[in-house]
Structure 1
Amino acid sequence: MKDVLVYANSLSAWTPAMIWAAQIASTLRGGLTGVYVCPSPAVGYAAPYGGIDIAASLIASIRKVEEEAYAVHAQFERRAAEYGVRSAQWQVAEGHVPQILQHLGNWHDLLVIDRGNEAPWTAPWEVGNLVLTTRMPTLVVPPGAPQRQSLDCVAIAWNGSPEALRALHAARGLLAQARRIVVLRGTRGDPYSEIGWRPVFSLETYLARQAFSVELIDIESADGDIGATLLDAAAQHDADLLVMGAYGRSRFSEWAFGGATHHILHHSAIPVMMRR
């Protein structure tokens, strides 16, 4: 995990996601890329009455924002260096945020984004869209997260799903920094229940091979609200970070009926690393 990407939704201040991204890049001795995405005049614009004048004004406004965004690069690199980042760069793009981040994800290992309710693309449902679209390991930092990154305890949500396995695999760099790792094991499906079953993954063998010392804790949700159960268990063990697979069911199913990803995106008080 050497190339960390952070989506900057503000030009005036460093958000919790930017702070966490810089500390992770510094801890892992990797590089940090910050990106600010300007809206494209071609996205979502339909010319009303007097459309030519309004379009010209809109384009001029966007160009001003772009100039302001480019001017931030020295400040971003200087602030990243204060956190110990050895290599930092600032990118400015124009277009649709999910597509821009998906493109940058081709050469980055981790995306870090804020979760809030005010800035663009930080509402829980928009964050979920970014996780799905980019298909990157994504660290979601909630409002009020501690400014100083702490990995005294990392909790892993484990149910044997491909999403959980991909999240675990992607998080190895962060897990190696943790003083304590707690695996919260939920109900697992029977790998032999279908014809032509897949090779069985041994969690214990994999963790031992990575030289991770972990605590295995079985959890069960009596009312079926696994998201709340996971957050309660993580809080009980004073976890600073939760690692989990995202959208084990369809996105529509999560939206319509609720689910672990849906609940955690709305309610987690600690950063969550997700992987689809």
Structure 2
Amino acid sequence: MSFKDVLVCVEDLPSDEATLEVAVGLARSFGAHLVGLHVRLLAELPPFIMAEYGGQITLMQDRLALEASDRAKARFEAALAAGGITGEWRDVAGNPLREVPLHARHADLTVIAQRNPEEWSEDGLVDQLLLDAGRPVLVVPYVGRYPAVGRRALVAWNAGREAARAVADALPLLRRAERTLVVALNPRAVTGSHGDVPGADIAAHLARHGVSAQAESLQAEDVALGDMLLSRAADEDADLLVMGAYGHSRMRELVLGGVTRHVLDHMTLPVLLSH
């Protein structure tokens, strides 16, 4: 198993630089076909505004969208040239919440930037991508640079189906890792799910796939668990966190908080998530 198609979202934002660096590095490392995707958002305005100013507004929207698309394409092509690889550019018009998951379904991995609350970007895009694409998503923090991803990996393991899916999706990266640490989350919360030794069974499974992994456990409340995971990743000097996404419903996590939501908001390293 390997990555043969990698999709990267290019949003005409400062965070594109780090996201493209990660995507180009992965495509080069795996010999994968890299697709750059930019979605030109067509804003929907109230009918009374369109009735009076529709033509002018449409022309202005088209002009600004095309300028953003040109900048995004230039950034993508510069990243390809710097990485010494070739790729495919896709520019589509529509709603990113629909278009990005649609294109992601035809790729082994999608790379996208963490949402920066101080910049405009489509709210909820990462969440929608996780829930709708059916493919793993690698989210890159909007702060920092990450020239190598997957050298030292930390796997968040709660023995749930989302975590199992994430581990399977991350195998191409985990096989290449110099060190993999499996952290069993709240193993006492669900009796029997983790086995006699928390993390041992999934570590043994990884070993059969050529991944040398160590296991340990963490016990905490959901939000505190997110902090502890990120802190443990920093202690390990990890450059990749692998975890399942939204084991609880997304609405429950938005209202009450949860590990997925906390990590998406506060990540300090690239995170591969699967739902």
Assess same fold via TM > 0.5: yes
In structure 2, relative to structure 1, the CA distance for the partners of 1:71 and 1:144 (3 Å cut) is closer
Aligned to 1:262: 261
**Structure 1, unpaired ranges of 5+:** 193-200
Does structure 1 residue 38 correspond to structure 2 residue 37? Answer: no
**Runs of 4+ with deviation above 6 angstroms:** none
Q: How does 1:230-245 map to 2 (within 5 A)?
A: 230-245=229-244
Give the equivalent residue in structure 1 for 2:154. 155
Question: Which TM-score applies when normalising by structure 2?
Answer: 0.85
Looking at structure 2, the residues matched to 184 and 105 of structure 1 have their Cα atoms a distance apart, in angstroms, of 28
Where 1:132 maps in the other structure, the secondary structure is: helix
The offset of 1:128, in angstroms, is 2.4
Distance 1:122 1:234, change over 3 A: farther
Residues 220-259 of structure 1: CA distance to partner in whole angstroms, max 9, x if unpaired?
2268722112112211211111000000101111111111
RMSD: 2.5
Decide whether aligned partners of structure 1 residues 186 and 3 sit closer, same or farther in structure 2, where only a CA change above 3 A counts: same
Amino acid at match of 1:44: E
Structure with the largest fraction of helix: 2
- Which residue is 2:197 aligned to? none
1:209 & 1:52 partners in 2: Cα distance? 64
Cα distance in 1 between the residues matched to 2:54 and 2:178: 55
Shift of 1:83: 1.0
Distance 2:62 2:223 in 1: 50
The CA distance in 1 between the partners of 2:14 and 2:179, in whole Å, is: 36
The residue that corresponds to 2:196 in the other structure is none
Q: Contact 2:6 / 2:32 at 8 angstroms: preserved in 1?
A: yes
Q: C-alpha separation between the residues in 2 aligned to 1:162 and 1:149?
A: 28
Matches within 5 A, 1:186-265: 186-188=185-187, 189-190=190-191, 202-221=201-220, 225-265=224-264
Unaligned 5+ runs, structure 2? 194-199
State the number of aligned residues.
263
Secondary structure (helix, strand or coil) at the match of 2:211 reads: coil
Q: Distance in 2 between matches of 1:259 and 1:157?
A: 14
Residues 253 and 24 of structure 1: CA distance in aligned 2, closer, same or farther (over 3 Å): same
Residue 81 (structure 1) aligned with residue 78 (structure 2):
no
Contact 2:156 2:241 (8 Å CA) reproduced: yes
Q: CA deviation at 1:79?
A: 2.7
Q: Tell me the secondary structure at the aligned position of residue 263 of structure 2.
A: helix
* Structure 1 residue 127 displacement after superposition: 2.5
| 1:204 Cα offset (Å) | 3.4
For 2:104 and 2:66, locate their aligned partners in 1 and report how far apart those are by CA, in whole Å. 24
Q: What letter corresponds to residue 117 of structure 2 in structure 1?
A: N
